[in-house]
Structure 1
Amino acid sequence: MFVIAAWWERIKDSLWFRLLLFLLCNTNVPAVILAGALFLFRALEVLGRRDKARPGEWGRLLANAVLALGGALAAFLTVYPPFNDAAVGLDKRPLSAWNMIRAIFHQKTFVRDLGIPWPAQTISMILITGSLLVFARHKRALAVAVFAFLALKFFFFFIYMAYLRHVALFLVFLLALAWIVRTECGEEFLPLGHWRARAVPIGKWMLIILLGVQVVTLIRKPIVDALQGVPYSRSAELAALMARPEFRGSALILDPDMVGEAVVYYRGVEPLWLLRQTRFGVWAPFSKAGRDRLTLDDILADARLLNRRTGRPVVIALQRRIGKDGDFQMMFQNRTEITPEGRQRFLAATRPVASLRPAQTDEEYDVYVFPR
């Protein structure tokens, strides 16, 4: 997006624009929406010309549309049918008029984990919405920004939850669009007293505050953790534990499966036993085809199976501490149930080896070995 913005005047009517849109479509799925918004910005410019369009301009615009659609199609074919079919929103929301209205005002689906302290969602939504006023004097840019904002909200409401890396895409889009508008010098001339002229500084300050608060809050935590000696991840330590003589050749079980993916590479791509898929593998899909609900008894049963199959001890690394009872969400729709009876049977059959905590990420573990 920044490359497109930096060379906007040179590329907007050329092959480079369509190639960059193609690439943008294939960074991730939400970026397809933003690529469409950037194309719409250019299309509205051509459609809104009061003078006659330059020769060949319509043809080049059509060529840009075709290649951009090709990029969207390539992205679609890459991710569909989804092998990560369980990586969707936790709430199944049917497409209805009422839910369309809810999607516009719903906060959590768009501003989750934005890095702003409580009440994060309300404050973040006010700042994001207010940031659109940056384009109050530029009708075309304002229309495109609102389109991208609503399209992403619908996407995150009906299809996929938004995390920081997704919401940040929209903030980058706002910066890129502001860059393009600045390059075009196309803002309408309005009297200083006009409400739209007065709204622009409000939008600018809201965007500056939004970015500033994120920088402070999101950089502060890893710096403080590093000063306190909290490592980014405990995956390397778990891999080192598996390299001990008594555990060499042992199977490794983790719950949830995906918090062990980094351990695979520290161990020289030695596969894990994937609890949800009941097979060995080096990465864990978010699949509905696997076991979406587990208990400590299920984990123990798999450990017994692997112990009989290999004749070696089995190492079990649990991300969640088992001292508290409940039915816990582990990742998307995967859940693990912990009961007093299950905990008692698990602790009777295993021996605690290490507690690799805390970590800056979710890669932290309590480690047990079976048999005891």
Structure 2
Amino acid sequence: MAVIVSDIDERRSTVLGKVSIFLLWFALASALCWFETVWRDEVRALSLALQGESFIDMLRQMHGEGHPALWYILLRAAHVVLGSPVVLKIVALTVATVSAYLLVFRLKLPLPIMLLSLFSSFSVFDYAAMSRNYGISMLVVFLIVLNWEKGLRNGILLGLLFALLANTNVHSVVLVGGFLAYWFFDLVLAPPRPPLSAYRALVTAAAIAAVGIVLCVMTVYPTFNDAGQNDLAGKNFALLVLSAFTAASSYFMAFYPDRILELVVADPLFARIFALLMAVLIYGSLLGLANRRPAMFAAALVLLGLSLLFTLVYPGSYRHQALWLVFMIAITALTQPPRAGPADVAGTETAGVGVKIGRLCFMILLALQVASGIERVHQFLFTDMPLSRARDLGSFIQSRPDLKDAIIMADPDYLVEALPYYISNRTYLLREERFGAIVHYTRKARLSLSLADILQTARQLQQSEHAPVVVLLSQRLDRIAAPVSLRESYNWLLSLMPEDISAFRSETTLVKRFGPVAGSDETFDAYLLK
């Protein structure tokens, strides 16, 4: 009887502890979500989701944007119900909250890995407070883990989840391949030989996943953001592939906190040292799965697949790189023995020294993400350094009755993309010479502009639209004394000549200078055309 009471008390204390941890996460994520100023990529998705008169019109107009449709469908559906831009934050936080619940209460993970994963930057900020489609990947990955039965797996259910995962973002297609690889190797390498029905389930899941992948590709390509892809002209394809295979860890340097990345950028010696350390941590983390070979092979394939994607298609930011960590968390949960003990179940061996070192490497890697999460909490809750100055500009415009109907244009053009979340003023895209709030990163736009071109366009708009014109410039003109040509975005050029600066400043009034930002380039000076 005493043993039973002790077990019940232990379970109660464990549940209470998990509830407390989950509530702490929710408080942090909610605060970050509420206080974070949305930036252009977040609002861009909402603007795309609200295009057209129906869901079909929206899907037709977003074709070629570069992302599959699931995120936009969720945003449009939520907006139909609430009718407010705040759905951007609500949907993102809701998805993240469900993911966090599964991580804390449902996934079978060692306590240290669960805690480090929960309070990592990707979990508490990038996939929660920042309203992007990558958080859905984490949720679907965790659902896959929960539906991954030890015995005969349900090929239809897992196939549908794979297809769903493939339509969260392009990078998650690699994760789908990783799960299928794990399933395949698990069947091939597992003694005794599994029944034929197990292979049929795999083939069924792979076929459904293939349909999802084709749907993703058809939605994404051909892209109208042709300038956003890596330019491989004049480069040796074979050497690029070889570099992705031999130096995969070099594509994941954003796993370091900002303080370390500042050292990496400042000193070549530090860059080499920390690149070597990252290689040790990443490949060491794979070694932590060495006694579960199917899992190690799958995690390695996902690492190489993402490296190839970063090399050949899109460059990878932290939100993309962290998908590998999510897959590692999932594969760790999948390979946990049913009960703790001196030895694992059949097919896995007791962890050796190398495996233990590998697990330590993975925990250090996750600890670095917690450090990054602490940086985000400090930046966005305890300093006046928002991600974007769009909210401040919105407040300024609303405080000026004379600017209620002002047209807003900017260089770079993408500075206007975050504004529809805060104000309803019309925005004009200089490079594409049209009104709109969604920039097309295309090589068919005006790739080269001068300040004289910007002033001329502003004057034409003022005369044709009979409205005030506000020009946002990321460059501080009073700090430029010599001719300069600046590269912006993927392939834009801006020419600044002293005489053009003088003419621009004489025909405009600097009405507001906005302060620095953290984590983006969305700050600017606001000029009102006289």
TM over 0.5: yes
Alpha carbons of 1:90 and 1:216: their partners in 2 closer, same or farther (altered >3 Å)? farther
- Partner Cα distance (2:250, 2:220) in 1: 21
Aligned equivalent of 2:523, options 351, 357, 364: 364
Partner in structure 2 of residue 57 of structure 1: 198
Could you tell me how far apart the structure 1 residues matched to 2:211 and 2:145 are? 21
What corresponds to 2:63 in structure 1? none
**Equivalent residues of 2:191, 2:347 under 8 A apart:** no
Aligned pair partner of 1:188 in 328, 338, 348: 348
1:129 alignment partner AA? Y
What is the distance in 2 between the residues matched to 1:276 and 1:225?
32
Distance in 2, matches of 1:225 and 1:159, equals 32
Unaligned runs of 5+ in 2: 1-140, 265-270, 339-344
SS at 2:149 equivalent: helix
Q: Aligned partner of 1:98: which letter?
A: L
Match of 1:154?
Answer: 308
Tell me the secondary structure at the aligned position of residue 336 of structure 1: strand
1:261 aligned to 417, 420, 424, which one?
Answer: 417
Distance in 1, matches of 2:444 and 2:312, equals 21
* TM-score after normalising by structure 1: 0.89
Q: What displacement does 1:28 show?
A: 0.5
In the alignment, which of 124, 138, 141 is matched to residue 295 of structure 2?
A: 141
Q: Is the 8 A contact 1:5 1:176 kept in 2?
A: yes
Matched, 1:231 2:371: no
Structure-1 residue corresponding to 2:508: 350
Q: Structure 1: which 5+ residue stretches go unaligned?
A: none
Q: Deviations over 1:285-331 (max 9, x none)?
A: 22222122222122112111111212233100112333246433332
Q: Does 1:329 align with 2:487?
A: yes
* Closer, same or farther: CA 93–110 of 1 in aligned 2, 3 Å: farther
- Deviation at residue 39 of structure 1 after TM alignment: 1.0
Q: Residue 9 of structure 1 aligns to a residue in which SS? A: coil
Counterparts in 2 of 1:78-89, with a 5 A limit?
A: 78-89=219-230
Q: Structure 1 residue 95: deviation in Å?
A: 5.2
Tell me, yes or no, if structure 1 residue 33 matches structure 2 residue 193.
no
Deviation at 1:358, TM superposition (A): 2.1
Query: 1:63-212 residue pairs with structure 2 within 5 A?
Result: 63-89=204-230, 92=233, 94=235, 96-106=237-247, 110-116=251-257, 117=260, 118-119=263-264, 122=275, 123-183=277-337, 185=345, 188-189=348-349, 197-212=352-367
Q: Does 1:338 align with 2:338?
A: no
C-alpha distance 204-85 of structure 1, shift in aligned 2 (>3 A): same
Equivalent position amino acid for 1:292 in 2: L
Q: Which amino acid aligns with 2:410?
A: L
**What SS does structure 1 have at the residue aligned with 2:177?**
helix
Scaled by the length of structure 2, the TM-score of the pair is 0.64
Distance 1:154 1:310 in 2: 48
1:175 deviates by 1.1
Q: Cα distance, 1:273 vs. partner?
A: 0.2
Match among 468, 471, 475 for residue 313 of structure 1: 468
Shift of 1:113: 3.4
SS at match of 1:362: coil
Partner of 2:435: 280
1:368 Cα deviation (Å)?
A: 0.5
Q: Which has the higher helix share?
A: 2
Find the residue that maps to 2:228 and give its secondary structure: coil
1:214-241 deviation digits (Å, cap 9, x = unpaired): 2213432441454233334321221233
* Alpha-carbon contact 1:86-1:287 (below 8 Å) kept: yes
Listed one character per residue, the Cα deviations across residues 247-270 of structure 1 (whole Å, up to 9, x for unaligned) are 2222100122222222123223x4
Q: Which is worse superposed, 249-258 or 102-111?
A: 102-111
C-alpha change, 1:12 and 1:288, in structure 2 (3 Å) is farther
Contact 1:112 1:163 in 2 (8 A): no
Aligned residues between the structures: 365
Corresponding residue SS for 2:409: strand
| Deviation (angstroms), 1:108 | 8.7
Query: Percent of pairs identical after alignment?
Result: 28
C-alpha spacing 1:178/1:258, structure 2 compared with 1 (3 Å): same
Cα drift, residue 62 of structure 1 = 1.5
- Greater Cα shift, 252-261 or 228-237: 228-237
User: Structure 1 residues 203 and 329 mapped into 2: Cα distance closer, same or farther (>3 Å)?
Assistant: farther
